[in-house]
Amino acid sequence: MRNLFIVFLLLSISLSAQEKTFTNPIIPGGYPDPSICRVGDDYYIVNSSFEYFPGLPIHHSKDLVNWELVGYGLHRENQVNGVVNLVDVNSNGGIHAPTMRYHQGLFYIITTNVYYHQESNTTDFVNFIITAKDIKGPWSEPHVLEGAPGIDPDIFFDEDEKVWYVGTRSPENPNFSGEGEIWLQEIDLENWRLVGDRIALWRGACGGTWVEGPHMYKRNGRYYLMVAEGGTGFDHAVMIAVSDDITGPYLSNARNPILTTRQLSYDNWVNSTGHADLIELPDGRWYMVALGIRGDEERGSNMGRETHLLPVKWEREPYEWKEVKHEWPVVAPLTGRVERHTPLPFPSKPQYQNISFTDNFDASSLNLEWNFRRVPRPGVYSLTDRKGFLRINAHPDNIKERTSCSLLGVRQKESDFEYSISMDFSPQNNGSEAGMSLFQKDDNYLNFTVKKINGKIQLQLTQAIPGKAPEVLKALILEEYDQQIFLKVTSKDQSYFFHYKFKRDAPFSRFKETPSNLILSKGYTGAYLGLYATSNGQESNDYADFDWIDYKGFQR
């Protein structure tokens, strides 16, 4: 009895401790390059979205640990079908590393659209600003800043009413390949143009390789320049420098990097932490948001780069011999790294993290969680053709580079999950197919679909991996098929298990098992769990009606 009491006591203490902590990442799924701003007691984060539409996802929170997706900065097709092009943008192109700030009643997002021209082997870096009075929009048309090189711009509103652009570029005379440079120039917001001299600020702290992602802050009269350095892999890091004048010179923190996993095992629970932004709370405390990659699968994760939260403490240098003793931010002061579980910023506000998603398609518009690869073509889907269903039309295009097809998805938020769908599909044309898609890129996906071939209905699992043609891993003629089918994939123990059935109350039948690393993130973005239809190059009136989807994530 005494031993049982001790076990109960220890369990109670453990649960009590967990109730006082939050779990990283705070925004699970492919949400990299976080930028945070505060308006009163409200906090907002915007993330990179690359080739996906709508772009620039925006989350809102009251407590820094519970975040709700409330809209997108790029939510209208006319924002992204011109100089800012998400119509036929290349994979890993599109919207990079935004900064969001609030000034005098207006929200500002400044960011870069990267567009590669294959014919000329050149790349456009279009830096632009959008604004909104309401965080949910509508957001303005893009205001392009001509003559701004590089990526990852920051916008800084100084106390003297000057507004500054802080950018990234390759220096004219680099000391080595991959060296970056942070530069500064004033912005004329009335005419949306850069004015005055362009000033080189800093090339980083620890080697200066791939210096990017700058953010400027002002504290106690001094300017702090924080950057990402070392690339987005295991050497990713956050560096900081200080100056008495915004134009420099900047003194590097001798204790750089202030955040990294360079010193940790490659098998740490999270790696590649970096590309951060700082926020001050109303009570004077500070926090940092930063990206990181969970090491769930082969030191990586299908979710790619996600948003994490860390406490920050400012400390003054203690050295007696220094005439000027600077203050520096100390990130995660107790451990110096991103922890899976961290004390709550507001102890009275626990975290209620929702890592599941259900959609019955009863609303008049698509849920904000849904994304398309590039701007969808007209007529791809309908929520009105059949009430309570999402209809996806089987257009000729299938999944391929620089193409928009009948494909949409929601972000995978945990490595372990169960994803199921209900579909009505009665194809008339040979070649038409529809079902679920687990996709990472145009050349990296798993499609679990029903397809009509030679007059017969076939269930098949198709895999695409970079550098190879898509391959059918398994196919089965469905003699019992009569329009309706339920498909399910479960991710558990580093494996995917694919199932199907024809009736709601029937048990699922096992179709195929595969490793779960087949769509492991190798690039900037994370995996999506989606719906797909195509007529594979043929003109067709075929379509698939989806009654519901259900996604349940399970934390490891």
The reply to whether 446 falls in a domain is yes
Residue that is last in its domain, among 312, 343, 374: 343
Both 323 and 250 in one domain: the answer is: yes
Q: Please give the share of the chain, as a percent, with pLDDT higher than 70.
A: 96
* Residue range 504-522: mean pLDDT, rounded: 91
Both 231 and 374 in one domain: the answer is: no
Both 325 and 464 in one domain: the answer is: no
Under the banding of pLDDT at 50, 70 and 90, the label for residue 7 is very low
What pLDDT score does 90 carry? 96
* Side-chain half-sphere CA neighbours of 292 within 13 A: 30
Q: Indicate which CATH number applies to the domain containing 81.
A: 2.115.10.20
The reply to whether 36 falls in a domain is yes
What pLDDT score does 11 carry? 35
* Residue range 270-275: mean pLDDT, rounded: 97
pTM: 0.95
Q: Indicate which CATH number applies to the domain containing 373.
A: 2.60.120.200
Count of domains for the chain: 2
Q: Please give the share of the chain, as a percent, with pLDDT higher than 90.
A: 91
Q: What is the pLDDT of residues 67-120, one digit of tens each?
A: 999 999 999 999 999 999 999 999 999 999 999 999 999 999 999 999 999 999
Residue that is last in its domain, among 343, 370, 400: 343
Distance of alpha carbon 104 from alpha carbon 156, whole angstroms = 13
**Tokens read off for 198:** 């362009």
Residue of 51, 212, 277, 542 marked active site: 212
Residue of 33, 51, 235, 306 marked active site: 33
Distance of alpha carbon 393 from alpha carbon 412, whole angstroms = 24
* Side-chain half-sphere CA neighbours of 475 within 13 A: 13
What pLDDT score does 5 carry? 44
Q: Is the pLDDT of residue 10 over 60?
A: no
> Using an 8 Å Cβ cutoff, are 55 and 83 in contact?
no
Closest by CA position to 232, among listed 210, 216, 252: 210
Under the banding of pLDDT at 50, 70 and 90, the label for residue 127 is very high
320 is catalytic: no
Q: What is the pLDDT of residues 328-365, one digit of tens each?
A: 999 999 999 999 999 999 999 999 988 999 999 999 99
385 is catalytic: no
What is the chain's mean pLDDT, rounded? 94
Both 366 and 470 in one domain: the answer is: yes
Both 249 and 180 in one domain: the answer is: yes
Q: Is the pLDDT of residue 22 over 60?
A: yes
> Using an 8 Å Cβ cutoff, are 182 and 166 in contact?
yes
The reply to whether 439 falls in a domain is yes
- 3-state secondary structure labels for all residues of 394-428: CCCCCCCCCCCCCEEEEECCCCEEEEEEEEEECCC
Under the banding of pLDDT at 50, 70 and 90, the label for residue 523 is low
Q: What is the pLDDT of residues 132-141, one digit of tens each?
A: 999 999 999 9
> Using an 8 Å Cβ cutoff, are 223 and 205 in contact?
no
The reply to whether 452 falls in a domain is yes
The reply to whether 349 falls in a domain is no
Both 339 and 387 in one domain: the answer is: no
Both 246 and 369 in one domain: the answer is: no
**Where in 327-415 does DSSP place strands (E)?**
327-331, 341-343, 357-359, 371-373, 381-382, 390-393, 407-411
What pLDDT score does 473 carry? 97
Q: Is the pLDDT of residue 2 over 60?
A: no
Both 286 and 378 in one domain: the answer is: no
> Using an 8 Å Cβ cutoff, are 420 and 539 in contact?
no
Range of the domain at 304: 31-343
Distance of alpha carbon 135 from alpha carbon 441, whole angstroms = 30
**Tokens read off for 537:** 């190059």
Both 297 and 381 in one domain: the answer is: no
* Residue range 378-390: mean pLDDT, rounded: 97
The reply to whether 400 falls in a domain is yes
What pLDDT score does 13 carry? 40
Under the banding of pLDDT at 50, 70 and 90, the label for residue 186 is very high
What pLDDT score does 522 carry? 66
Sequence-distant contacts of 363-370: CB under 8 A, at least 24 apart: 366/390, 366/408, 368/69, 368/70, 368/71, 368/72, 369/69, 369/410, 369/411, 370/408, 370/409, 370/410
* Residue range 504-516: mean pLDDT, rounded: 96
Q: What is the pLDDT of residues 287-336, one digit of tens each?
A: 999 999 999 999 999 999 999 999 999 999 999 998 999 999 999 999 99
The reply to whether 527 falls in a domain is yes
Both 79 and 113 in one domain: the answer is: yes
- Using DSSP's 3-state secondary structure scheme, residue 359 falls into strand
Residue that is last in its domain, among 343, 373, 392: 343
Q: Is the pLDDT of residue 387 over 60?
A: yes
What pLDDT score does 18 carry? 56
Both 123 and 208 in one domain: the answer is: yes
Q: Is the pLDDT of residue 200 over 60?
A: yes
Both 454 and 409 in one domain: the answer is: yes
What pLDDT score does 208 carry? 83
* Cβ neighbours, 10 Å, residue 347: 10
What pLDDT score does 173 carry? 85
Q: Is the pLDDT of residue 174 over 60?
A: yes
What pLDDT score does 172 carry? 86
**Tokens read off for 243:** 């100056």
Under the banding of pLDDT at 50, 70 and 90, the label for residue 178 is confident
The reply to whether 249 falls in a domain is yes
Q: Is the pLDDT of residue 3 over 60?
A: no
* Residue range 179-200: mean pLDDT, rounded: 97
